[in-house]
Every structure is written in structure tokens, then in C-alpha cells.
Amino acid sequence: MIDRVAELNRVMLAVAEATGRLEHVRLQDALELCADTVIEGRIPDHRNNVAHAVRMGLLIRRGQWLSFTSRGRAFVELNGSKMYELTADQKNLIVRTCYLGGVLRDPTRLLFLAFAEDYKRNTFSWSEVDSPPLQENTWVAENLVELGLLERTDSGYEVAPAFVQAVGAFRLEGKGWGEEDFQRYFKEKQEIGAVAEHAVLTFERDRLRKLGCVVESESVRRISTLRVNAGYDVESFEGRENSLHYNRFIEVKGSRGSDVRFFWSQNEMEVARKLGDQYIICFQGGVDLKNAVVKNRPVIFHRPLETIPRDARLRVVPQGMLVEGKVRGDKTSVAFSGIM
């Protein structure tokens, strides 16, 4: 951590002086320039302060070299007088990009979980008398006092009037997702998609077998494992096809829930336009990841570009196309284990 946020100015001005044109500088040269600037008799840990500027996204370190990020350049430009103390614009930049968003968002969120709404004063406050302890997040509170977001009171802290609305919105944002959260989410979506695709593969093979199309049934395949950008997931047949040329192209949408809800991308819609009547969407709801089965039969949308927008049971929003509604397939249980 950093004992005073204003130390960022000492670091950034030293790097700017060493680079001249805001390009790159040796770490040791920047540290020596920091040490040559004595302010208020303070002798801080300059190496730690440089590391903090890197963490805050103001500098990039590559080996023994430092360079500015675009945010770092903006930070320096907002200090036209080259002062040690942070300017109001610098404070706002750091508050918004690092504390209410960015690398320090999580400890800031934990800090504000201990704050309570003060309706009389129209703010959020924390008191050492009757509020939950801040524990290891006291440093965040002290940083935010220096940045003007918090003000000290007789018993603790309260949000400064200018930031009450921003903090109120921040408290409502929730935990948010880090990189690991996104990885877990996409991993689950991939797993749900795999179960759904295997279920639709089984559905298609059974449908063709019942029509007496044994060769076609055995020839149904998941194209998604071969061409991830095909715009559909399964290649099948409408019925008997002596040439064995695929003429039924299925985009599979999967969900744990039973009600229809899926996102249809612009790329997929463009493929649907090209393929016309040969393109369908199969929504496979009721995916049970734990047991690798599905609980419902798929809901099939023929000519989806035409039929989905006209279906009164569905709601369509324009971000690509988010489709949702109370439409469900019949209850069943289709396992996919071992089916390729």
C-alpha cells in the first residue's frame, strides 16, 4: 500500500522529468529522482510507491524500464503546475478509475459494506462506536479522506456531499466479476452448451431413425467442434438425402432453466439469412450439469428471423438479439453420455 496518495505525484513527476517526452525511463533513474525531491521532510519507500503507481495503472514496468500508460499521461497533464499535492481533477481520476472501479474496487466495496445510510445528513457514515469494524480496510478509508471522497467525523467517517450519489450507485453495483469469475462463467456456459448440443444431436438422430433414415441418422454431427465460427452447432438432414449433403443447420442454445432465454449474435443471424429455411434454432432447456442430462425436449424455431419477432410469447431486445419468454419443451430426460 501507499501511505499518502499524493506520493503518486512525486513518482509521476520524476518519471516525466527523466523521460522528457513521456516515453520510458530506467527504474533506478526514477528512484534516484524521487529521492532527490524532499517534501515535508518525508522519506517514503520510493520503490513501493513506484510499484503502487504500476498497480494503479499509471505506469507500466517491463524489467528495469518504466513507461506511462494513457491514464498515467492524463494524470501528469492534470497537474500542470507540477505540484506535490494532488489536484482536484487528479483526485477525481483516481477515485473513479481505481477505487470505484479498477484495481482497488474490491477493498473499496468491502469498506462501504460497513457504512450505513444516514438519512438525517443525507450521506453514508461509519462510526467506531456502533458500526462493523473496518478491519484491514482502514487504509482505504484514509486514502479516500485524502482524495476528498470521505470526511472525518468525531467518531469515524462519512461520505462527502459531492460523492454521495456516486457512492450510492457504487453500493448497488454488487460484487462484480473479476477475471476468475468470468472464466468460471464461460466454463459453465461451455459445459451447458456441450450438454445441450449432445442432447440435440441425440434428438436429431432419433428423429431421423424414426423416419427410417439410418445412414442420415448416423451422419449427424457437431460442427461446433470443428468450426467454432460456423454460426450454428449441428449439421443434420430433413429426411432421406442420397447425396448426404447436409440441409438442416441447427444453432443450439442451452440453459439450466426451462423458460426460453438465449442470446442470438449478429454473426449467427447473418448465417441464418444466408441459409434461409435450412437454418433452425433449438433451445435446449433444463440442462442438468451434475448428471449430464436434460430434463426437457428442445424448443425448435424454424425460420427464426421471421418467427421469433412475431411470437407474442417472446420478448426480443436489440443487443444482437436477446430472446426470452415463457416457452418450454415437453418434460423428458435425455442423457448424452458417450454420444459423439
Residue 338: the pLDDT is 32
The 234-236 sheet, strands edge to edge: 221-222, 234-236, 248-254, 279-284, 299-302
Could you say which DSSP state residue 161 is in?
Answer: G
In sign, the C-alpha dihedral spanning 196, 201, 204, 206 is negative
CATH class for the region spanning 7-86: mainly alpha
- d(C-alpha 156, C-alpha 116), whole Å: 12
- d(C-alpha 19, C-alpha 30), whole Å: 9
264 grid coordinates: 442470438
Give the DSSP letter string of 134-154: -GGGHHHHHHHHHTTSEEE-S
- d(C-alpha 61, C-alpha 261), whole Å: 44
- d(C-alpha 248, C-alpha 30), whole Å: 64
Q: How many CA atoms, within 13 angstroms, populate the side-chain half-sphere of residue 137?
A: 20
Instruction: Identify any residues that bridge with 222 across adjacent strands, giving them in sequence order.
Output: 234
Nearest in space to 137 (alpha carbons), one of 159, 106, 101, 168 = 106
pLDDT tens string, the chain, 340 residues long: the values are 777 898 888 888 888 877 765 567 777 877 777 676 655 556 667 788 888 888 888 988 888 888 888 888 889 889 988 888 999 999 998 998 889 988 898 899 889 989 998 888 899 999 998 888 887 889 999 999 999 999 999 999 999 999 998 898 888 776 665 566 657 656 777 888 899 999 999 999 999 999 999 889 988 999 877 776 788 999 999 999 887 889 999 999 998 888 888 888 878 889 999 999 999 999 998 898 888 888 888 999 999 989 888 888 877 765 567 787 777 665 543 333 333 2
224 grid coordinates: 461446433
Give the DSSP letter string of 2-58: -S-TTHHHHHHHHHHHHHSSSSEEEHHHHHHHHHH--BTTB---HHHHHHHHHHTTS
> Which residues in 223-330 belong to E strands, given as ranges?
234-236, 248-254, 260-263, 279-284, 287-288, 293-296, 299-302, 314-317, 322-325
Contacts 24+ apart (CB under 8 A), 163-166: 163/95, 164/122, 164/123, 164/124, 166/100
203 grid coordinates: 434428438
- d(C-alpha 194, C-alpha 20), whole Å: 55
- d(C-alpha 70, C-alpha 32), whole Å: 24
- d(C-alpha 169, C-alpha 93), whole Å: 17
Q: Are 249 and 279 in contact (CB under 8 A)?
A: yes
- d(C-alpha 45, C-alpha 50), whole Å: 9
User: Which residue shows C-alpha cell 489536484?
Assistant: 87
Q: Are 8 and 58 in contact (CB under 8 A)?
A: yes
CATH class for the region spanning 179-335: alpha beta
86 Cβ contact list (under 8 Å, min separation 6): 5, 6, 8, 9, 79, 94, 146, 147
Domain boundaries, the chain: 7-86, 105-172, 179-335
Residue 43: the pLDDT is 66
Residue 293: the pLDDT is 86
